[in-house]
Amino acid sequence: MRYLPVIVLIFFLTSCEQSVIGEPPKTFTMEQNFPNPFTDTTVILYGVPAVTSGSGPWVRIEVKDRFNQTIATLVNRYNHDAGQFRIVWNGKDNNYSTVQSGIYYIELQEAIFGKTEVTVHIRKVAVKQ
């Protein structure tokens, strides 16, 4: 009996909400997240232009720490639809743990286009009185 190797790719994306909010822009865009700094959630707006021929672009949006390590993958999509999109990030990493207070970098990557925005996460701390 002969066995063929099977490669299975599984992507676990950090939980975040994504919604379409507008028509496709002429070029890739990503706005500064808001609120910034944030405690619970922050909103990221980005745009993917329409493609005239072939399949849509591959788009990845990641949150990286100060050591350039990916801590959360928010979008990882091949053949991404065109349009304006809104993502709400819940401040959790790829293991669904709340990230520490600190400075993080939200990075949009595409084959040609790339953009990075800086964000600050402030963790809530219970204070005993």
The mean per-residue pLDDT over the stretch 41-70 comes to 88
**Helix ranges restricted to H, the chain:** none
pLDDT at residue 61 is higher than 90: yes
Higher-pLDDT residue of 56, 103: 103
- Tell me which amino acid residue 63 is: V
Taking the CB of residue 110, how many other CB atoms lie within 10 A of it?
16
With cut-offs at 50, 70 and 90, classify the pLDDT of residue 63.
very high
- Structural domain spans, the chain: 16-121
What pLDDT shows up at residue 129? 65
> Token pair of 63, please?
């949150």
- From residue 43, alpha-carbon distances to 1, 4, 30, 92 in Å are 53, 44, 11, 14
In this structure, which topology does domain 16-121 adopt according to CATH?
Answer: Immunoglobulin-like (2.60.40)
Give dist(CA 102, CA 100) in Å, integer.
6
Mean pLDDT computed over every residue of the chain: 82
